[in-house]
Each structure stands twice: as structure tokens, then as C-alpha cells.
């Protein structure tokens, strides 16, 4: 086993439960207001750490009250924080999350200090051939590119979760070994004109359109329809686990963190997908993002 390095966002998640999400110009009443540790980078790092991997978190928080609190919470998660620093004159990243009665969410991201994570901050991280480099689209793309170039030079494995969906402004895709997206993101990054929901054949076609090099694996999470992985030689499909969702926030991050851990454990691709698929399902059964990230026991309970 090597080490998992996660270059990504660290946020304070401000979440509120509502019966229905407000329409434009509408005010609705909410309850269960929470302030919790979040950010796709932090969530994925915590998910991998809770599942037994050695994880280094690379990121930035502000020097505000939230920044101090975020560092304190991350220190409890058995992460290496050598490359997580506070920056002055920037607020900590914040996510405003509204969760409705159907457990669906709407999220507004304020990047804050996450936008200050620069290429020189990630290139100084020691990466080895057995390591895994993970990133997402809540930090600057120029930084992600530098991070993956550093990982590739070392012979490490790279995983990109390009979420929230945004156009590729840097040539990052050729540096990616495993691209993890949901159906909506798949369409965002493809030149193919399909409509949601996608059929299995359409997802396979879209993956072929997206593949940037001959060894790249594309993993598409499909919610209630499970998971599809497209490699240059095969297609793997898995059914969703029948759970009663409470909050879908963080489910995708649980998937990515668990997937990285499974690859770190040298699991076969299908076994890694099954592990990650169960982790994503387990995360929906608890409120919150980081608070919902599952333990190995919780994942194992969903795997026959």
C-alpha cells in the first residue's frame, strides 16, 4: 500500500432541511440548521482515511473562525495535514446546502481560500510510484494539472472527479487514469447530444467519446441505476443497493474515497467498484457530508 494524496477543497457546510426547495423569489421555512466540515476534497480524504488508507490532505482554509474549526475537525480524522495551510485575507470555503423532503439537495459553493491553492503548493508534495493522487473541480484547474503532472512523473495513479461540472480549461484529461463522473457530468464533458436519463448504450458511447488515452477508465455513477465502468476492453455494470436515503450529500465523495482505498489495496477493478458502490449507498443513510462517510463495517453490511 502507498499513500493517497488528496488535493482539494475544504469547506464549512451550512445545511438546512426544508419541505421543498424555494422557487425564484420564494421564501420557505427550514429547520435542522447545521454547520459541518465539508468540501469535496476533505470529504474524499476522510472517506479514504476512515477505510484504513494513509491519507495526505492538500488544501487551504482561511484564518477566520471557520478556518480554525475546520483544522480542528480534520485533525480528528487521522489525516496528514502537512500541506494544509491557512491563508490570510481569504474566508474559508463555504457551501450552502438545502435538502428537501425527498433527500435531494441544492448547493451553492463559495470557494474562498480554496481558490488560493496554487501549483507550487502541490508540486512540493512527495509522491511515490505506489501512491494515488485524487482531485476534484473545487480548486483551480491549473493546480490540478500541476498536481497530476507531479504524480505522473512519479509513476503514481491519478483519479479525477471533475465536479461540480465545469469546462476543462487546462489539458488535464490526458493525465487522468480514472475519471469518476455522474450521468449529468458525463454529458457536460461529451460532444454527444443525448438527453437524460441515459441508456446503458448511450453511456458507453459517451465514455468512448470522452476517453483521452488507451488505458483510461471512466466510472459513471448513476444513482438508482447503479454504476457503470468503461475500460478500453470491457464494460462493468453494478446495480444500486436498496437503501432508504436520508441525505444524498456526500455520497459521491464516499464513492471516490472508497474507490481510491480499494485501488490502494490492489483490488481488481470490479471489486473496487463494488466497494465504492456500497460506500456511496451507505453514505445516503445518514445526514450530512463528512458525518455520513461510512466505516468498513457499514460498507461490508451491504455487500453479499
- Position 291 scores a pLDDT of 83
Percent of the chain scored above 90 by pLDDT? 80
Query: pLDDT tens digits for 136-157?
Result: 999 999 999 999 999 999 999 9
**Residue 253 appears among annotated catalytic residues:** yes
Query: pLDDT tens digits for 26-85?
Result: 999 998 898 989 999 999 999 999 999 999 999 999 999 999 999 999 999 999 999 999
Calculate mean pLDDT across residues 118-145.
Answer: 97
Percent of the chain scored above 70 by pLDDT? 100
Calculate mean pLDDT across residues 90-119.
Answer: 92
Query: pLDDT tens digits for 188-210?
Result: 898 888 888 889 999 999 999 99
Calculate mean pLDDT across residues 93-110.
Answer: 88
Lowest mean pLDDT among 72-86, 90-104, 122-136: 90-104
User: Does the structure show a pLDDT above 80 at 289?
Assistant: no
User: Does the structure show a pLDDT above 90 at 218?
Assistant: yes
Catalytic hit among 253, 264, 265, 271:
253
| pLDDT band (50, 70, 90) for residue 106 | confident
Q: Which domains does the chain possess? A: 4-21+33-300 (3.40.1190.20)
Give me 195's grid cell: 438527453
Calculate mean pLDDT across residues 124-139.
Answer: 97
- Position 131 scores a pLDDT of 98
User: Does the structure show a pLDDT above 90 at 162?
Assistant: yes
- Position 113 scores a pLDDT of 98
- Position 1 scores a pLDDT of 83
Amino acid at each position: 500500500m502507498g499513500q493517497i494524496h488528496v488535493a482539494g477543497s475544504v469547506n464549512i457546510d451550512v445545511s438546512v432541511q426544508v419541505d421543498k426547495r424555494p422557487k425564484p423569489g420564494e421564501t420557505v421555512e427550514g429547520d435542522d440548521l447545521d454547520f459541518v466540515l465539508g468540501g469535496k476534497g476533505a470529504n474524499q480524504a476522510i472517506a479514504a482515511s476512515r477505510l484504513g488508507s494513509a491519507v495526505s490532505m492538500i488544501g487551504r482554509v482561511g484564518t477566520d473562525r471557520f478556518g480554525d474549526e475546520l483544522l480542528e475537525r480534520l485533525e480528528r480524522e487521522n489525516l496528514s495535514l502537512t500541506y494544509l495551510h491557512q491563508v490570510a485575507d481569504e474566508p474559508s470555503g463555504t457551501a450552502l446546502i438545502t435538502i428537501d423532503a425527498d433527500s435531494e439537495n441544492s448547493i451553492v459553493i463559495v470557494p474562498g481560500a480554496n481558490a488560493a491553492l496554487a501549483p507550487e503548493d502541490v508540486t512540493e508534495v512527495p509522491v511515490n510510484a505506489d501512491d494515488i493522487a485524487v482531485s476534484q473541480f473545487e480548486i483551480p484547474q491549473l493546480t490540478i494539472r500541476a498536481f497530476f503532472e507531479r504524480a505522473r512523473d512519479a509513476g503514481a495513479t491519478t483519479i479525477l472527479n471533475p465536479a461540480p461540472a465545469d469546462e476543462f480549461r487546462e489539458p488535464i484529461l490526458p493525465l487522468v487514469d480514472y475519471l469518476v463522473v455522474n450521468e449529468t457530468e458525463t454529458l457536460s464533458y461529451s460532444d454527444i447530444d443525448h438527453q437524460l436519463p441515459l441508456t446503458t448504450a448511450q453511456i458507453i458511447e459517451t465514455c468512448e467519446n470522452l476517453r483521452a488515452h488507451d488505458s483510461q477508465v471512466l466510472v459513471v455513477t448513476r444513482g438508482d441505476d447503479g454504476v457503470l465502468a468503461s475500460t478500453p476492453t470491457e464494460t462493468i455494470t453494478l446495480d444500486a443497493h436498496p437503501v432508504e436515503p436520508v441525505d444524498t450529500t456526500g455520497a459521491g465523495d464516499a464513492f471516490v474515497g472508497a474507490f481510491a482505498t480499494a485501488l490502494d489495496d490492489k483490488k481488481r477493478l470490479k471489486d473496487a467498484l463494488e466497494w465504492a458502490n456500497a460506500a456511496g449507498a451507505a453514505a445516503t443513510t445518514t445526514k450530512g457530508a463528512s458525518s455520513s462517510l461510512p466505516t468498513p463495517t457499514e460498507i461490508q453490511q451491504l455487500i453479499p
